[in-house]
Amino acid sequence: MSAAFVRRLSAFGLLGFVRFLEGYFMVLVTKRRKVATIGYHFVYKIEETETVPLAADIAAVASSPHEQRYHKTFQSIDLSSNFYYSHSYDITHTLQHNMALGNNLELVSGGEPAWRFVWNEYLLK
C-alpha cells in the first residue's frame, strides 16, 4: 500500500456530505447494530458516526474559529439516537406499501421515499 493511501477508518455507510464555510466533510457510519430483520432485509441502528474533512488544507479548515463553531454545532446532533437504515429495504414506507407489488420496491414507490420520514427533507430540495 502506498504511503499516500493509508486506511484511516472503516465505515458501514455514508450518511452524506456537509459544508460549513471552508470545506466539505463526509459523514460516515462507523458503528452500527442490527435491530431488526424484515424478511431477508436487515435494519440497522446507527451507534457511532465520524465526520471526515475532505479539504486539501485541513489545517486551514481546523484553524477557522467560525468553522470550528459550526462543526461543533453539527456534532451536537446525536445521530446515534433513533436513526435507522437498511441497505436493501425502504424503511420510509409501511410494510403494506412495500408488499403491494412483492419484491419490486422500485415499482411500488417509484424510487421516492416517504418524505415524512426523511429527517433532512428540506435540505434535499
30-77: pLDDT as tens digits:
999 999 998 889 999 999 998 888 876 666 666 778 888 888 888 887
User: In this predicted structure, which of 3-12, 67-76, 81-90 has the lowest mean pLDDT?
Assistant: 3-12
pLDDT at position 93 is 78
**Closest C-alpha among 23, 93, 89 to residue 61:** 23
pLDDT at position 36 is 92
pLDDT at position 98 is 76
* HSE-up (13 A, CA, CB side) for residue 9: 16
pLDDT at position 110 is 59
Residue type at 36 in one-letter notation = A
Mean pLDDT of the chain: 77
Say whether 100 sits in a helix, a strand or coil: coil
Outline where DSSP puts E strands in 1-125: 13-19, 24-38, 41-53, 84-85
